[in-house]
Amino acid sequence: MLFRRILTYRLALYYLAAILIAALGLSAAELVHQSILNLAFSAIVSLCVCLGVNWAFAYVFGADSNWESVAISAIIITLIITPVAPSDLAGVGFLGLVCAWAMASKYLIAIHKKHVFNPACFGAVLVGIGLHRDVSWWVGDNALLLPVILLGGVLILSRLRYFEMVAGFAVVVLGIAIAEGNLASIAGVVRSLSGMGIHSMFCFFGMVMLSEPRTTPLGRGQRVVYGALVGLLFSPFTHIGTYYFTPESALVCGNLFTFFANKRRMKRWMEKLGMTAARA
Amino acid sequence: MLSQAKTHESLTGKLLLSTALVAVTVGYGWWQHNQMSRQQAAAIAAMQVRAAPAPAQPQAQSQAMAAAAPQTATPATDANVAQSAAPGESAAPAPRGSSNPAAKSTALAMAAPSPNSAPAAPAAQPKTPGETVLLPATPPAPIPPLALTGMDAIRAFIPTEGVSPPLPPVTSTPDPGATPPIPAGTHLEDGDYESDKVTFEWGDLRTRILVTGGKITTVQIMSYPDHRSQSLYLIQLADPILTSEVIKSQQSKVDVVSSATNTSIAFQDAIAGAIIKATR
């Protein structure tokens, strides 16, 4: 009953906070190789930058902002960018810029007051391309964090009823991993599955990033296609020419699919464009 | 994210804030570019200083450099240094197992320790028997990308497959009593052996071992996944630990490095392949 009364945003915030606290605990126990000081510093920087930039944009755009959404983005960015030391100015700058652009994207790239892209991924892609740096998704390759990620993920998915979307994503990603791996033996298949399923950002990405309600298609069928499309681009083997997708760029492409797949939103957007053109 | 419009919505504010964000991003990018250019220039200058007396004192070459090409004692010439130092050339594929002296010299020059190769430097020094290697490792400082301009910068922006130079070879002393896991009645024949390509989720990995006196004395990672910066980070993290562990234990089955699980397993397979090739 209590679970049903908690708002989805708040539930997601508790979930991510639990992952962050677990990561801090494991860092303190030296079970993950990130320094606890760096992790705490990154979390504070992310939170401060996200809250500050969000407040500024909300002010000039005359909008109400949801602090829980801001905190969610800040924690996600903390969990996907390798924690930086206070003395690493380049790293701190990168972290701050990703946070700033993530918040800015909620206002600058919004159609009908709804952001088009997952903020954290958009910030990571934009700053990553501009400054030639990738985010590390360090939270992914820590099997000890997996129980927290899975348990909270199941709660979020049961609230949002997005199981079929994540299933579509999982089938495509794991299917490609198996097909590209060693098919000659059971051990080879198991290794492909464990390599992708346990020792990569697969679970975190599927449970946390993919299931953001604002950037997910409305219909069940579209959600399955969305999950499968992101899974296809997420797969390490997928590339266009010499360009290999990163998880964040895969999700941004999926967000574009969501935008174009929403006929009602597209129609309103086209009408608005037409009105603007007529005025001009 | 956005909801009801309020009275303080301001077009000037929007423009100012967006411009400020762009300006900060561009400023950070410019600063980072300058930092990298300075580091690169310092590294090249240091390499030139080290390489200059080499023709006069060929016997003074480092152990690592000698191990990289046991059959060809080609002294490093200015031309070779220039080849490795030129920014545009460092991305050129180094021929695997090539007998071309010039190509080998390029690999030698790259194998020479530089201020930028901080993660590999400690492992390149022989470890005393019985010394323990702590896992997980301290994350290595990222090697700054080359400062490129013009078409070189455009080419470098496009990810390419398998063009990164081999990692520096690691030479160490095996633990007393450590024996290779080979069938009774066989032995490892002295020589230089390169494994077949091992394909895993994030790309291909190939290693090389140097057998001296029936023991593995040098291990080098010849090619590795380099499509994404995260892959490069992980290989830098795992390389010093894995290579020194193989030499100490004379086994391919060494401890997996935390956060680089898939890379470690692929490395184990590649070393096992090279050991099989060396077994007579």
User: Is residue B44 over pLDDT 80?
Assistant: no
Q: Which two tokens stand for residue A272?
A: 């608005």
Question: Which B residues, 182 through 201, put their C-beta within 8 Å of a C-beta on chain A?
Answer: 199-201
Which has the minimum average pLDDT: A87-96, A185-194, A263-272?
Answer: A263-272
Query: In this model, does residue A138 exceed pLDDT 70?
Result: yes
pLDDT above 80 for B36: no
Neighboring chain A residues of B227 at a CB cutoff of 8 Å: 239, 244
Judge if the upstream peptide bond of residue B136 is cis by omega within 30 degrees of 0: yes
pLDDT above 50 for B74 = no
Which tokens hold the place of B144?
């700054």
What is the pLDDT, as a whole number, of residue A160? 86
Mean pLDDT of A9-18: 92
pLDDT at A17: 95
For residue A79, the model assigns a pLDDT of 93
Put simply, the answer to whether B7 touches A62 (Cβ < 8 Å) is yes
- Which range, A195-204, A267-276, B17-26, B143-152, is most confident? B17-26
Selecting from B1, B4, B158 the residue whose C-beta is nearest the C-beta of A242 gives B158
- Band (pLDDT 50/70/90 cuts) for residue A114 is confident
- Least confident residue range of A140-154, B132-146, B172-186: B132-146
Answer yes or no: are the C-beta atoms of B253 and B243 closer than 8 Å: no
Gap between the Cα atoms of A47 and B262, Å rounded: 32
For residue B58, is pLDDT > 70? no
Contacting B residues, span 255-274, partner chain A, CB-CB under 8 Å: 258-262, 265
* Range name among A76-85, B158-167, B215-224 with the lowest pLDDT average: B158-167
Q: Which of B224, B191, B190 is nearest to B207 (CA)?
A: B224
| Helices vs strands, H then E, count in chain A | 13, 4
How many other CB atoms are found less than 10 A from the CB of residue B22? 12
- B185 C-beta neighbours (distance < 10 Å), count: 5
The Cα of B256 is separated from the nearest Cα of chain A by a number of Å equal to 12
A65 pLDDT above the threshold of 90: no
Q: How many CB atoms lie within 10 A of CB A50?
A: 30
| Tokens 């030639």 found at | A132
pLDDT tier at B38, thresholds 50, 70, 90: confident
Say whether B25 and A101 touch across the interface (CB within 8 A).
Answer: yes
How sure is the predictor about B33, in pLDDT bands with cuts at 50, 70 and 90? confident
A108, A137, A214 ranked by CB distance to B230: nearest: A137
B66 is written with which tokens? 């000698």
Q: What pLDDT band is residue A233 in, cutting at 50, 70 and 90?
A: very high
A202 contacts on B by Cβ (under 8 Å): none
User: Is the pTM value of this prediction over 0.95?
Assistant: no
- Answer with the residue of higher pLDDT: B56 or A49: A49
Average pLDDT, chain A: 87
Q: What angle do CA A223, A226, A229 make, to 5 degrees?
A: 150
Decide: B242 and B257 in contact? Cβ < 8 Å.
Answer: yes
Is the Cβ pair A62, B265 closer than 8 Å? no
Nearest Cβ partner of B137 from A33, A62, A244? A33
What is the helix (H) or strand (E) element at residue B16, kind and residue range? helix B11-51
Assign residue A239 a region (left: φ > 0; alpha: ψ between -120 and 50; beta: otherwise): beta
Of the candidates B2, B18, B25, the beta carbon closest to that of A63 is on B2
Cβ-defined contact of A104 to B21 (cutoff 8 Å):
yes
CA separation for the pair A141, B129 (Å, rounded): 31
pLDDT exceeds 60 at position B169: yes
Please check the confidence at residue A101 and state whether its pLDDT lies above 50: yes
First and final C-alpha spacing in chain A: 55
Confidence of residue A18 (pLDDT cuts 50, 70, 90): very high
In this complex, the residue of B139, B201, B259 whose CB is nearest that of residue A177 is B201
pLDDT at A15: 93
The yes-or-no verdict on residue B106 having pLDDT over 60 is: no
Return the half-sphere exposure (C-beta side, CA atoms, 13 A cut-off) of residue B49: 9
The average pLDDT across A58-82 equals 90
Whole-number pLDDT of residue B163: 59
- By the CB < 8 Å criterion, does A238 face chain B? no
- The yes-or-no verdict on residue B1 having pLDDT over 70 is no
Residue A97: pLDDT above 90? yes
Q: What angle do CA B44, B48, B51 make, to 5 degrees?
A: 135
CA distance B191 to chain A (A): 30
Q: Please answer yes or no on whether B21 and A33 come within 8 Å at the CB atom.
A: no
Instruction: Report pLDDT digits (tens) over B181-197.
Output: 888 788 888 889 999 88
Torsion of the alpha carbons at A113, A118, A124 and A126, rounded to the nearest 10: -50
Compute the mean pLDDT over every residue in chain B, rounded to the nearest whole number: 65
Give A14's contacts (C-beta < 8 A, 6+ positions apart). Answer: A6, A152
Examine the pLDDT at B116 and tell me if it is beyond 60.
no
Q: What is the pLDDT of residue A53?
A: 94
Using one digit for the tens of pLDDT, what is the confidence trace for A194-228?
888 888 889 999 999 998 888 888 888 999 999 99
Q: What's at A256, amino acid-wise?
A: L
Contact A131 B230 (CB under 8 A): no
> Which position has the higher pLDDT, B230 or A196?
A196
